Amino acid sequence: MTMYSSRAEVPLEEKWNLDDLYSDLAQWEEDYRQIEEMAGKLKELDGKIQDGSSLYQYLKLREELSFQFGKLYAFAMLKVDEDTRETTSQSYLDRAKQLSVKVSAATSFFMPYLLSLEEETLKGYIAGEEGLSYFEEDLWESFRYKPHVLNRDQEAVLSQLGEALSVPGNTFGMINNADISFGEVTNDQGEKIKLTRGMYAKLIEDEDRKKRREAYKAYYQPYLQLKNTIASTLAGAIKNNVTMARIRQYPSALEKALFGDNVPKEVYDNLISTTKENIATMHRYTEIRKQKLQLDELRQYDLSVPLVSGVKPEISYEEAYDIMCKALAPLGEEYLAILKEFKKGRYLDVRETEGKRSGAYNLGVYGVHPYILLNHQDDLDSLFTLVHECGHGVHSWLSSKHQPQISARYSIFVAEVASTVNEVLLINYLLNNEQDEDVRKHLINHFIDQFKGTFFTQVMFAEFEKKTHEMAEKGQPLNVDVFNRTYEQLFREYNGDEVVFDEEVKYGWSRIPHFYRPFYVYKYATGYASAIHLATKILEGDKETLTSYLEFLKSGSADYPLELLKKTGVDLTSPEPIQNALKKFSQLVEEFSRI
């Protein structure tokens, strides 16, 4: 595996090219000054928007500011992520964040102003000012919130509560990231050392069951110790969601959360009920896991260990890029040409070096191009990460090219579709071209476990959120016992009777940060199911699906997410896409049990 001790050693072609954003820091400073100036002009328009012309003037200036700020902020963030220890880069990012606060303050008057207008007044403004036709859809989208906005004085009071309402989430964040101290595990030298999150992710997949059990117990130790405190933060977050939904006159906290994407409650309910109706294959996989590991008792710390051991093919970055292009060939020439441009134009930052931000992401910058951060390790996981992030990258690239700035950003609801379609095409290509039986087994096992984590686990979390919010809406108490009982029952329903429960299982709710961002996780599952549905059709050679899928990638947020997906043949208001995805899971488990 290629290792570099410093960023300077990494070949130029494996480092992203930030000159496409700013080749000269003096230009960054000039943009900073201009954005400050524009923010001042926007603030001056408070109380002065009285007709279509002044409304257009405000919106046009705000979009110009948004374009420049996007570039400025992206540059500062990407510079920090190259080396998080670099203080000069940190100071640029700090300044960009301060500028963001100034911009927010300067534009905070606009939404209350817009929603104070009568519908007829806004129609008159739009009819009288030609330039507003560009902003029309966006204006009416904002106007959709009018029934849920209070009068000016009440909104002023609510805005002052913002910080207080975020306390439960912030408190959990501090507990979970700063204060938590895991138990000890034994290292290879036989010494006791403190467990870290990074170590836990590796140890829970270790072939040595004693190591897995020890890591599992050490990992859950602080959550059990802090159970009452964390239950209090979670109950607070849930009650806040319920209270805000009532104040804003939504039928429920769930419907408030779904409102932004214009998703009916039935989509959420349909996801849960269709998954539960088809849960038998998941239970079957749990049984196969028990047999394959040759265990008398299957426990929670046995559910993540790969079932095929010793498979670690080395795949260089060059080779990985080549495999990706071959695997994604079914998406057509235009798609492959974009991927080649990503590499040639140095949109990717490939290698892990000291101080570099960990993980991987795609950042689309409108008017420039996407930037992709990797920490490539020359292994199979890195190949999957490359393919995943390039899925997001091409989605950003196509949406930016084919959409005006106002509708170029796509919703989180559809984001995972593009990345997962790529992963399904990759796994299909690898299985078709792999002769080694152990590698084939490993690939199928990888796909099944990924399916389990991205789909089944998220649906289980989604149901936990729904149940606990409904309890709060009925005025029922929320505490450790209630959370434990609810989580334990769901874990049993989703994983089957083969799992023997340790005390820790029922505390699974206490470690999930997503629960402080209400009704968010279901999007992973709907996105994943949509992608499986689409990739399967594309692999079957369905030309209509391929054409509509490429159109979808060019659509940004030109329509609501459900409508964009419907144009590709995926209707999430019906059980069909979920059933098709679960059928694919069933086939994978069947094939794995055969081989």
Asked if residue 33 is part of any domain, the answer here is yes
Asked if residue 94 is part of any domain, the answer here is yes
Nearest to 593 by CA among 375, 312, 288: 288
Neighbours of 283 (CB within 10 A): 16
3-class DSSP state for residue 249? coil
Asked if residue 380 is part of any domain, the answer here is no
Tell me how far apart the alpha carbons of residues 476 and 238 are, in angstroms, rounded to a whole number.
12
Evaluate whether 462 touches 268 at the Cβ level (below 8 Å). yes
Asked if residue 168 is part of any domain, the answer here is no
Asked if residue 57 is part of any domain, the answer here is yes
* Active-site hit among 14, 82, 389, 463: 389
Evaluate whether 509 touches 483 at the Cβ level (below 8 Å). yes
Asked if residue 293 is part of any domain, the answer here is no
Instruction: Give the tokens for residue 322.
Output: 């080549």
Q: What is the CATH number of the domain that holds 62?
A: 1.20.140.70
- Is the pTM value of this prediction over 0.75? yes
- Domain total of the chain: 1
Tell me how far apart the alpha carbons of residues 18 and 20 are, in angstroms, rounded to a whole number.
5
Largest CA distance in the chain: 78
Q: If you count them, how many residues does the chain have?
A: 595
Q: What is the domain range of residue 101?
A: 10-149
Name the one residue in this structure whose structure tokens are 């200036």: 61
Tell me how far apart the alpha carbons of residues 375 and 390 are, in angstroms, rounded to a whole number.
14
Residue 372 burial (10 A CB sphere; 0-12, 13-18, 19+) = buried
* Annotated catalytic residue 389: yes
Return all residues near 361 (Cβ < 8 A) that are at least 6 apart: 372, 373, 389
**What is the chain's pLDDT, residue by residue, as a tens digit (595 residues)?**
677 888 999 999 999 999 999 999 999 999 999 999 999 999 999 999 999 999 999 999 999 999 999 999 999 999 999 998 999 999 999 999 999 989 998 998 899 899 999 999 999 999 999 999 999 999 999 999 999 988 778 877 887 887 888 899 989 989 988 889 999 999 889 999 999 888 898 899 999 999 999 999 999 999 999 999 999 999 999 999 999 999 999 999 999 999 999 999 999 999 999 999 999 999 999 999 999 999 999 999 999 999 988 777 889 999 999 999 999 999 999 999 999 999 999 999 999 998 898 889 999 999 999 999 999 999 888 999 999 999 999 999 999 999 999 999 999 999 999 999 999 999 999 999 988 888 889 999 999 999 999 999 999 999 999 999 999 999 999 999 999 999 999 999 999 999 999 999 999 999 999 999 999 999 999 999 999 999 999 999 999 999 999 999 999 999 999 999 999 999 999 999 999 999 999 999 999 998 8
Asked if residue 434 is part of any domain, the answer here is no
Asked if residue 47 is part of any domain, the answer here is yes
